[in-house]
Structure 1
Amino acid sequence: MARSVRLVPALTAVQLALALTACGSGVHGTPGGSGVLDPYFPKAGNGGYDVGHYALRLAYDPDAHHLTGTATLTARATKDLSAFNLDLRGLEVGEVTVGGVTARWNRAGQELTVRPRDDIERDETFRVTVRYSGVPEAVTDPDGSEEGWLRTTDGVLALGEPTGSMTWFPGNHHPSDKAAYDLTVTVPRGLRAVSNGELLSERTAGDRTVARWHTTEPMASYLATLAIGDFDISRSRTGDGLPVYTAVDPAETEASRPVLARIPEVLRWAERRFGPYPFSSSGAIVDRAADVGYALETQTRPVFPGAPDLTLLVHELAHQWYGDSVTPESWRDMWLNEGFATYAEWLWEEDHGGPSAQETFDGLYSGDAFDTEEAGEAIWEFPPAQPPDAARVSAPPVYGRGAMVLQKVRQAVGDERFWRILRGWADEYRHGNADTADFTAYVEEQAPGTDFEEIWEEWLYGEGKPERP
């Protein structure tokens, strides 16, 4: 089998100096890469190691807008390392230790380059601790939306897609490196700190409240969230005993209550279609619409800008299977997130007295589903598996045309086999990463003898509007 050649990025001056020093002292390791060569965000992530666990201890003062943090990462080296990089944007680093021993470090843009006292051998598990503080940033994505550490009316909301998580903790910030998380967050008395996973404890003493959150299942850093503010908290369980924890800004409580009450119902339906729910808790965070510009499928606890409607709730909960559990290998594979979640909307409508998925498909193809001709044409701007640049990884073709690919697969294999493919895909890559080639190969394995060439060439990778067969 022929393999493509992967280009190695040029070393920075700091990395080159470290490498030369290592060679001179007989150290056999080399620096890890300062990025994983993502096609749209090449500096995101870092090579040479895999993080298994993040332990974050944070304290936030909203009046001063000041964050103090200690991040301890437990990782496994994937090569012999004389140095390695962490992604961290802004903030001031006070100290770095590796294995409890002070390490040398250097900052260059978002790269925090760490040189431990002793070389780290391949497959060795090591622990790096970074103490940092400062005023966290909000960043503007290539598509113009804001992410990172977003100030709200009464606190803050941290959102990370695609690279905003590096504004509040150092790490390996690429979806291909998933890990478990423990967060301990200290905030002023009267505020709540809400994150992913399960709330282990929440205690108030004096003028401070400390919350401890734990995420067992692997999570990509862009799916980590932290909401600090005044929230109405609701705790319940589904019929199967799954904990449901919702945090809602008081201004949105009344409007949100009816739709959030349907979380158990949506999860039951989704399990029938997609297989067992992949996490140990569920819920939602609802902040004021004026403070948050978009919804995001943050793991176990999606974020909504104001009270969501039912369609949006279905979309973000479907992401718990497709995007959060089965996470894209790179940002090029975003259609595996958004196409699947959009198709989940179609299936919900089909199963609840609305138009069938085929009727929805037909409306998109004809343009009848759009308010304007321009919107109808936007879905054909590029193939869903090949966004032209970073600004369009979340553009209409990734959502709508991505869902149309799934409907074409359903047409080709029939309903019974298609349901097995939907559930099997979520099971095969549960808590892992996958790319588009993995998906096409999986579909072909599950439907031997079916010709998918036209679907892949015309609908998944083809330019322009395919001819309707």
Structure 2
Amino acid sequence: MPLLRTPPSRARWLRSAVLVAASAGLVAAALPAPQPLGIGDPLFPELGNPGYDVLAYDLDLTYTGVNTEPLAAVTRIDALVTADLERINLDFTHGTVSAVSVDGLPAAYATADEDLVVTPAVPVDAGERVHIVVTHTSDPRGPASAGGWVRTTDGLAMANQANAAHRVFPSNDHPADKAYFTFRVTAPQTLTVVANGLRTGRVRHGATTTWTYRVTHPMATELAQISIGDSTVLHREGPHGLPVRDVVRTADRELMEPWLARTPGHLEWMERRVGPYPFETYGVLVADASTGFELETQTLSLFERRLFADPRYPRWYVDSVLVHELAHQWFGDSVSPRTWSDLWLNEGHATWYEAVYAEENGGPTLERRMKAAYAASDRWRADGGPPAAPDPPTPSHQISLFRPVVYDGAALALYALREEIGDDAFRRLEHRWVAGHRDSTATTADFVALAGETAGRDLTAFLHGWLYEKKTPAMPGHPDWRSDPVDTAPDTVKPG
């Protein structure tokens, strides 16, 4: 989608208005001190911003080759204004802003907590399209647990989930506001740059190269990915001619190839269960870094190198982790959560398909895994809340949101639903869910309603117990299953 520029006539009108006001000696009423805003997410109340809908981001970054130095950056945002605004709040922190313009005119700006608060020269009105340009730095330094840039042994990658994209670039950093992205990254010509979507340009400028990538489907900010490093890009073909490209350290090409060659088969396996792959490309990014997790960044999933290099991991396990992140392309990326409390829809489904794949390829049976999850379910709920109403994360450790209850605890709810409505209805529900909400956002209430419609009966009360109650309901078809006492030590699960 091309960037939406403000028509020249409007820009001229704005300049005229400013000049006329200045010559007449008019002084606008003083605005209150800048304040951080949010859209009231139950878990991240100050994340996101009201009053506009981002249509497109254009990110321009320059990397010097040293991953402990800030990158020079320009972020361009095209947005549709949905309410009259004297100020525009953007989520941004961990970078230095040097200039902001709105529709071509310089704008005042200030920081308030983790918001960049922009005051346009002329207020913007509901129904208008606005073009914002922020010149800033993007700082890769800081603890890995904070998210954003991930420093690798040969460069950089990104891990923005759940609320860290605004540590990289100014944005409306909430999955409810998906947008189209263009990435333009300049790096030393000895390095390779890969980002979400398809490459649309590569231009050499002496000792540097500028790489351009664009996505063809809307994307949540937390799913943005840029890889910069001494990398090799491996190309192969997936189902229906889908271009598959994997990014690995050049030194690891032979080590990774046996794993990466399996991706087309994984894609075929998922398509048989939920329908066509929803994006323009897919691939695996293997980073030589310690993150503690894998991540489903859209069209280019991030994995730690040690997952593939450690011989202690059995083949079925590594394959099932690859399928977990691939499943997220449907559940979480194409169909994104409306609020972060809907996270179970992402992780529960990805865990479900991970577990089904493991059962078919030498791992534990699905029933065995779900019985174990049932035993732990009351403990998980006591520790972190029920699947669809998880407790807020620890403020200093945001990925603490990714608890067992939203992984196996949520997959357990799906298992109960399948036991209740039967395998055929469950499969139809999965197909309808990803097809009906493709490139959009959806809520738990949407899923409950579609489940009832697919099954031909109201499932609200049934699913309420599995998704919202403190105690785990009885499992249909398994009256002998029991949950352990809640004072047993809780389990842990890595995010992904």
Give the TM-score of the pair, scaled to structure 1.
Answer: 0.86
1:36 corresponds, among 22, 39, 42, to 39
What is the DSSP-based 3-state SS (H/G/I as helix, E as strand, rest coil) of the residue aligned with 1:218?
coil
Name the CA distance, whole Å, in 1 between partners of 2:226 and 2:363. Answer: 36
The aligned counterpart of 2:335 is 326
Aligned ranges for residues 169-208 of structure 1 at < 5 Å?
169-208=169-208
What is the DSSP-based 3-state SS (H/G/I as helix, E as strand, rest coil) of the residue aligned with 2:227?
strand
Partner AA of 1:230 in structure 2 = D
**Structure 1 residues 340-389: Cα deviation after superposition (integer angstroms, max 9, x where no partner):** 0000112223455655533432243346xxxxxxx994476431112122
**Structure 1 residues 84-142: Cα deviation after superposition (integer angstroms, max 9, x where no partner):** 111111221111111111111112222111111222111211110111126344356xx
Contact 2:295 2:301 in 1 (8 A): yes
Contact 1:50 1:78 in 2 (8 A): yes
Name the CA distance, whole Å, in 2 between partners of 1:251 and 1:336. Answer: 37
Name the CA distance, whole Å, in 1 between partners of 2:390 and 2:296. Answer: 21
Name the CA distance, whole Å, in 2 between partners of 1:279 and 1:138. Answer: 32
Contact 2:177 2:220 in 1 (8 A): yes
Query: Does 1:385 pair with 2:388?
Result: yes
Q: Using the TM superposition, give the Cα deviation of residue 324 of structure 1 relative to its aligned residue in structure 2, in angstroms.
A: 0.3
Distance 1:378 1:404, change over 3 A: same
Partner AA of 1:304 in structure 2 = F
- Gapped runs of 5+ residues in structure 1? 1-22, 368-374
The aligned counterpart of 1:88 is 92
1:426 corresponds, among 411, 418, 434, to 434
What is the DSSP-based 3-state SS (H/G/I as helix, E as strand, rest coil) of the residue aligned with 1:319?
helix
Q: Using the TM superposition, give the Cα deviation of residue 146 of structure 1 relative to its aligned residue in structure 2, in angstroms.
A: 4.0
**Structure 1 residues 408-454: Cα deviation after superposition (integer angstroms, max 9, x where no partner):** 11111111111010111111111111121121122112222255523
Q: Pick the structure with more strand per residue.
A: 1
Query: Does 1:57 pair with 2:60?
Result: yes
Moved more, 116-125 or 214-223: 116-125
Name the CA distance, whole Å, in 2 between partners of 1:450 and 1:46. Answer: 35
Distance 1:139 1:464, change over 3 A: farther
**Structure 1 residues 191-221: Cα deviation after superposition (integer angstroms, max 9, x where no partner):** 1111111111223332112111111101000
Partner AA of 2:279 in structure 1 = F
Moved more, 381-390 or 32-41: 32-41
- Gapped runs of 5+ residues in structure 2? 1-25, 309-317, 395-399, 480-496
Distance 1:77 1:33, change over 3 A: farther
Query: Does 1:345 pair with 2:354?
Result: yes
Aligned ranges for residues 7-406 of structure 1 at < 5 Å?
25=28, 34-63=37-66, 65-133=69-137, 135-138=139-142, 145-288=145-288, 290-306=289-305, 307-308=307-308, 309-352=318-361, 356-366=365-375, 377-378=379-380, 381=383, 382-391=385-394, 392-406=400-414
Contact 2:140 2:151 in 1 (8 A): no
Distance 1:43 1:380, change over 3 A: closer
The aligned counterpart of 2:469 is 462
The aligned counterpart of 2:445 is 437
Contact 1:165 1:221 in 2 (8 A): yes
Name the CA distance, whole Å, in 1 between partners of 2:415 and 2:279. Answer: 27
Contact 1:332 1:393 in 2 (8 A): no
Contact 2:51 2:85 in 1 (8 A): yes
Partner AA of 1:255 in structure 2 = L
Distance 1:424 1:24, change over 3 A: farther
Partner AA of 2:38 in structure 1 = G
What is the DSSP-based 3-state SS (H/G/I as helix, E as strand, rest coil) of the residue aligned with 1:337?
helix
Contact 1:70 1:130 in 2 (8 A): yes
Partner AA of 2:301 in structure 1 = P
Number of residue pairs the alignment of both structures matches: 432
Partner AA of 1:138 in structure 2 = G
What is the DSSP-based 3-state SS (H/G/I as helix, E as strand, rest coil) of the residue aligned with 2:414?
helix
What is the DSSP-based 3-state SS (H/G/I as helix, E as strand, rest coil) of the residue aligned with 1:203?
strand
Q: CA RMSD in A?
A: 2.4
Q: Using the TM superposition, give the Cα deviation of residue 267 of structure 1 relative to its aligned residue in structure 2, in angstroms.
A: 0.8
Name the CA distance, whole Å, in 2 between partners of 1:364 and 1:134. Answer: 41
Name the CA distance, whole Å, in 2 between partners of 1:102 and 1:398. Answer: 45
Distance 1:134 1:322, change over 3 A: closer
Q: Using the TM superposition, give the Cα deviation of residue 467 of structure 1 relative to its aligned residue in structure 2, in angstroms.
A: 3.6
What is the DSSP-based 3-state SS (H/G/I as helix, E as strand, rest coil) of the residue aligned with 2:329?
coil
Name the CA distance, whole Å, in 2 between partners of 1:436 and 1:205. Answer: 49
The aligned counterpart of 2:22 is none
What is the DSSP-based 3-state SS (H/G/I as helix, E as strand, rest coil) of the residue aligned with 1:258?
helix
Name the CA distance, whole Å, in 2 between partners of 1:376 and 1:204. Answer: 58
**Structure 1 residues 248-292: Cα deviation after superposition (integer angstroms, max 9, x where no partner):** 12354333211211111111111111111110111110011x443
Q: Using the TM superposition, give the Cα deviation of residue 24 of structure 1 relative to its aligned residue in structure 2, in angstroms.
A: 8.0
Give the TM-score of the pair, scaled to structure 2.
Answer: 0.82
The aligned counterpart of 1:18 is none
The aligned counterpart of 1:4 is none
What is the DSSP-based 3-state SS (H/G/I as helix, E as strand, rest coil) of the residue aligned with 2:131?
strand
Moved more, 384-393 or 316-325: 384-393
Contact 2:36 2:112 in 1 (8 A): no
Partner AA of 1:171 in structure 2 = S
Contact 1:56 1:182 in 2 (8 A): yes
Q: Using the TM superposition, give the Cα deviation of residue 25 of structure 1 relative to its aligned residue in structure 2, in angstroms.
A: 4.4
Sequence identity of aligned pairs in percent?
Answer: 37
Moved more, 376-385 or 223-232: 376-385
